[in-house]
Amino acid sequence: MDPASLPVTRLKGVGPRLAEKLARLGLATVQDVLFHLPLRYQDRTRLTPLGALRPGMETLVAGTIELADVAYRGRRSLVVRIADGTGHLHLRFFHFTAAQRDGLVRGRRLRCYGEVRFGPAGLEMAHPEYSLLREDEAPLPEQHLTPVYPATAGVGQTLLRRMVNDALEHYLRRVEEWLPESLLAELALPALQDALALVHRPPPGEDTDALLTGRHPAQQRLAFEELLAYYLSLKRVRERVRAERAPRIPASTRLVTKLLAGLSFQLTKAQQRVLGEIVHDLHEPHPMQRLVQGDVGSGKTVVAACAAAAAVEAGFQVAVMAPTELLAEQHGRNFAGWLAPLGIDVAALSGRIANSARAAALDAIASGRAAVVIGTHALFQEEVRFGHLGLVVVDEQHRFGVGQRLALRAKGERDGERPHQLIMSATPIPRTLAQSLYADLDVSVIDELPPGRQPVDTVAVPATRRAEVVARVRAACAAGRQAYWVCPLIEESEALDLETAVRTAETLKEALSEITIALVHGRVKPREKERVMTAFARGEIQLLVATTVIEVGVDVPNASLMIIENAERLGLSQLHQLRGRVGRGSAQSACVLLYQPPLSELARARLAALRETSDGFEIARRDLEMRGPGELLGTRQTGEAAFHIADIVRDRALLPRVQRAAERLLADHPDAVAAVIRRWMGGREEYGAV
């Protein structure tokens, strides 16, 4: 029988009680166990000489005990010092038995495995796994890498390794191969069964470095299939959406024309093209699922406002969802500025408005009087009901996952019709990556900035030259311009960061007494935040000291100077977003990256990249090279694209091939499609895996 239909209880030693615990790891069937892949490996095939140890290393060492002692400083602990002729290391045990203590005596040889860290007396390992060696015993215990599996309470590594062994021994040969042989040959990838056997039990002599970095062909084979499953599942979501009905919204003849006529600028060619694509989608009888990518400042908001005007003209409501209160408020101001003169009623639904005002707002939304409703995800709470929702605009999409996208559409359902969805992404990513990660969406790109924008002059300045930077702020404000001073969230503790921001604001107030300075951060009350931002937007505040709350979307064209503290600690895309807050007006703008010397290699590369280019797509490309996509795409929190073995950055060269393989499977092997999705996406319903 297919291991996909055998319950885990078929494995040796697995009863109903254990099965319950395994369910928490998503392990229901024997196939799930076979596809429970190692997170990483421990390398017990090589010894590190004690003299070569560095903090943070996790490694195998061996040595002779020089000293063993019970220390009472702080907590009682057994401390053992070992040496091997190249250096020494302390082993520290907080819990130990008398027998353990008696075994660890001067002169005995032992090997141990653990993580190296700084201790009170130099490098140490706390609670290493260890074993005493006989006189003539060689210290190398393993000939192959040791897999480390995702584990949970009551389901540890030993148990998992035993289960996997049993599954491999008895059921591996029954795992079905869904990829056509010709495809595997073309891609030079091994067969599935061989790949599974190898990643669980890497035989001695395999390329250890490749395995440790996930580049071994066996891992690539599995990553390929996982990416394929993800891609196919999104394609299926897309097909499902295509089969749904949506209200047809004709191209606006009146309101959009009026909106455009009232603007002080003309849409760029790119904006017009993307608006055209949206208008076309809105007129289809199926829900639009369109992602608009555009660099910071490319003018995504006004495009969304035009789409909103078209929907309203056709008699539908529009919901605009922003990721933060701050942005919701700004959109509220912008949309009202554009739409109110056309006679369109724009309402705000903040998560924190007073109850009476809230009841009135809810009523206006339910009756359809509020034509455009702007808010945070509070918009999609249970008690919010729309009269006739035709379009949902989601700004700064990267914080929402597939599941949330689907839930949003279901929310606005009426008479079997679901609203159109327009998703605006603040973080541009390369097209091939977008097409793979968001395969359930159509992608539009605004690849042009409004004319007259001068690139932001970017400089990196060491914190030792802070006084010059303060003088620069003074000069800019004296010339009638405004500035941001960003104190990013960098420490673990939010409280500490707020303190830094508060202290910076105070110091600046003293140094720049002639300038109006205000502070915003995450803990400032929403009402106060709005007051400050409005005052800043009106030019009544000249210098805004802020944490990264202003990172995305904030738009004040008169602000032309951006100071970023501790720039060396921020990621490239984040710095680019922050820098994008300036250079929005016609004045020459500047961004000062204040850093704490000395710079690490990576930080130096980041700051250099930022100085060299202002193209968001290029920045994203370099960011991908330098670090993981989780941070870039903001998916760590939402769990979107959380892969077992694939790594979208490391494996991105596979993506075009994944797409081609998917087309082939859909056309020639439809039975394989469902099986591959089920195998990898398990019960993740939102991906269509049921």
Per CB under 6 A, residues contacting ligand ADP are 265-268, 271, 294, 296-302, 450, 553, 555, 557, 584
Residue 287 or 297 having the CB closest to ligand ADP: 297
Residue 247 or 294 having the CB closest to ligand ADP: 294
Place of tokens 């009269």: 387
197 contact choice in ligand ADP, Mg ion, none (CB below 5 to 8 Å, kind-dependent): none
**DSSP classification of residue 417:** B
Q: Interface with Mg ion includes 202 (CB under 5 A)?
A: no
- In the complex, least distance from residue 607 CB atom to Mg ion, rounded to whole angstroms: 25
Place of tokens 């097409």: 435
Integer Cα distance of 677 and 687 in angstroms? 9
Nearest to 316 by CA among 360, 261, 252, 378: 252
Question: In Å, what is the CA distance from 207 to each residue of 144, 212, 452, 605?
Answer: 10, 9, 54, 30
- In the complex, least distance from residue 292 CB atom to ligand ADP, rounded to whole angstroms: 9
Integer Cα distance of 488 and 552 in angstroms? 13
Q: Which two tokens stand for residue 352?
A: 């924190």
- In the complex, least distance from residue 301 CB atom to ligand ADP, rounded to whole angstroms: 3
Binding piece for Mg ion, criterion CB under 5 A, among 31-39, 61-69, 551-559, 621-629 = 551-559
Binding piece for Mg ion, criterion CB under 5 A, among 20-28, 266-274, 316-324, 547-555 = 547-555
Beta bridge partners of 446: 294
Residue type at position 48? T
Residue 55 or 337 having the CB closest to Mg ion: 337
DSSP H helical ranges for 479-588: 494-511, 526-537, 572-579
Integer Cα distance of 193 and 293 in angstroms? 40
Residue 302 or 564 having the CB closest to ligand ADP: 302
- In the complex, least distance from residue 322 CB atom to ligand ADP, rounded to whole angstroms: 11
63 contact choice in Mg ion, ligand ADP, none (CB below 5 to 8 Å, kind-dependent): none
268 contact choice in ligand ADP, Mg ion, none (CB below 5 to 8 Å, kind-dependent): ligand ADP
Q: Interface with Mg ion includes 299 (CB under 5 A)?
A: no
Residue 59 or 301 having the CB closest to ligand ADP: 301
β 58-71/77-83 pair status: antiparallel
584 contact choice in Mg ion, ligand ADP, none (CB below 5 to 8 Å, kind-dependent): ligand ADP
299 contact choice in ligand ADP, Mg ion, none (CB below 5 to 8 Å, kind-dependent): ligand ADP
User: Residue 174 phi/psi, 5° resolution?
Assistant: -100, 0
- In the complex, least distance from residue 583 CB atom to ligand ADP, rounded to whole angstroms: 10
Nearest to 616 by CA among 392, 378, 380, 293: 293
Residue nearest to ligand ADP (CB): 299
Residue 59 or 268 having the CB closest to ligand ADP: 268
Question: In Å, what is the CA distance from 658 to each residue of 247, 512, 671, 673, 675?
Answer: 34, 57, 17, 13, 16
Q: Up-side HSE of residue 26: CA atoms within 13 Å toward CB?
A: 15
Task: Say if residues 95 and 71 touch (Cβ distance below 8 Å).
Answer: no
Nearest to 59 by CA among 84, 35, 79: 84
Residue 298 or 566 having the CB closest to ligand ADP: 298
Q: Which two tokens stand for residue 272?
A: 């017009």
Integer Cα distance of 10 and 33 in angstroms? 11
Residue 297 or 682 having the CB closest to ligand ADP: 297
Q: Interface with Mg ion includes 580 (CB under 5 A)?
A: no
Q: Interface with Mg ion includes 688 (CB under 5 A)?
A: no
401 contact choice in ligand ADP, Mg ion, none (CB below 5 to 8 Å, kind-dependent): none
Residue nearest to Mg ion (CB): 553
Q: Which two tokens stand for residue 100?
A: 């353990």
- In the complex, least distance from residue 297 CB atom to ligand ADP, rounded to whole angstroms: 5
Task: Say if residues 177 and 676 touch (Cβ distance below 8 Å).
Answer: no
- In the complex, least distance from residue 617 CB atom to ligand ADP, rounded to whole angstroms: 13
Residue 116 or 274 having the CB closest to ligand ADP: 274
Place of tokens 């490239």: 572
- In the complex, least distance from residue 268 CB atom to ligand ADP, rounded to whole angstroms: 5
- In the complex, least distance from residue 516 CB atom to ligand ADP, rounded to whole angstroms: 22
β 543-546/457-462 pair status: unpaired
557 contact choice in Mg ion, ligand ADP, none (CB below 5 to 8 Å, kind-dependent): ligand ADP
- In the complex, least distance from residue 530 CB atom to Mg ion, rounded to whole angstroms: 18
Place of tokens 């706390």: 126
Binding piece for Mg ion, criterion CB under 5 A, among 1-9, 436-444, 552-560, 619-627 = 552-560
Residue 320 or 477 having the CB closest to Mg ion: 320
Residue 235 or 581 having the CB closest to Mg ion: 581
Integer Cα distance of 394 and 319 in angstroms? 8
Residue 128 or 553 having the CB closest to Mg ion: 553
Residue 216 or 331 having the CB closest to Mg ion: 331
State the CB neighbour count (10 A cutoff) for residue 65.
19
- In the complex, least distance from residue 436 CB atom to Mg ion, rounded to whole angstroms: 24
Q: Interface with Mg ion includes 332 (CB under 5 A)?
A: no
Residue 331 or 621 having the CB closest to Mg ion: 331
Binding map of Mg ion across residues 437-476, x = CB under 5 A, - = no contact: ----------------------------------------
Nearest to 577 by CA among 631, 512, 525, 649: 631
Q: Which two tokens stand for residue 204?
A: 């001695």
Beta bridge partners of 124: 90, 117
150 contact choice in Mg ion, ligand ADP, none (CB below 5 to 8 Å, kind-dependent): none
Which uninterrupted H or E stretch holds 608? helix 601-612
Count of residues engaged in binding Mg ion, rule: CB under 5 A: 1
DSSP H helical ranges for 452-493: 466-478
289 contact choice in Mg ion, ligand ADP, none (CB below 5 to 8 Å, kind-dependent): none
Binding piece for Mg ion, criterion CB under 5 A, among 404-412, 440-448, 549-557, 637-645 = 549-557
- In the complex, least distance from residue 290 CB atom to Mg ion, rounded to whole angstroms: 16
- In the complex, least distance from residue 408 CB atom to ligand ADP, rounded to whole angstroms: 20
- In the complex, least distance from residue 274 CB atom to Mg ion, rounded to whole angstroms: 14
Q: Interface with Mg ion includes 553 (CB under 5 A)?
A: yes
- In the complex, least distance from residue 48 CB atom to Mg ion, rounded to whole angstroms: 50
Residue type at position 25? L
Q: Interface with Mg ion includes 323 (CB under 5 A)?
A: no
* Sheet with strand 482-486: strands edge to edge: 457-462, 590-595, 559-564, 482-486, 543-546, 517-520
Residue 328 or 654 having the CB closest to Mg ion: 328
Integer Cα distance of 65 and 90 in angstroms? 10
Integer Cα distance of 573 and 620 in angstroms? 6
Task: Say if residues 215 and 650 touch (Cβ distance below 8 Å).
Answer: yes
Residue 401 or 553 having the CB closest to Mg ion: 553
Question: In Å, what is the CA distance from 636 to each residue of 54, 145, 433, 496?
Answer: 29, 28, 17, 23
Quote the distance between the C-alpha of residue 249 and its chain's center: 34
- In the complex, least distance from residue 653 CB atom to ligand ADP, rounded to whole angstroms: 30
User: What does the binding site for Mg ion look like in residue numbers (CB under 5 A)?
Assistant: 553
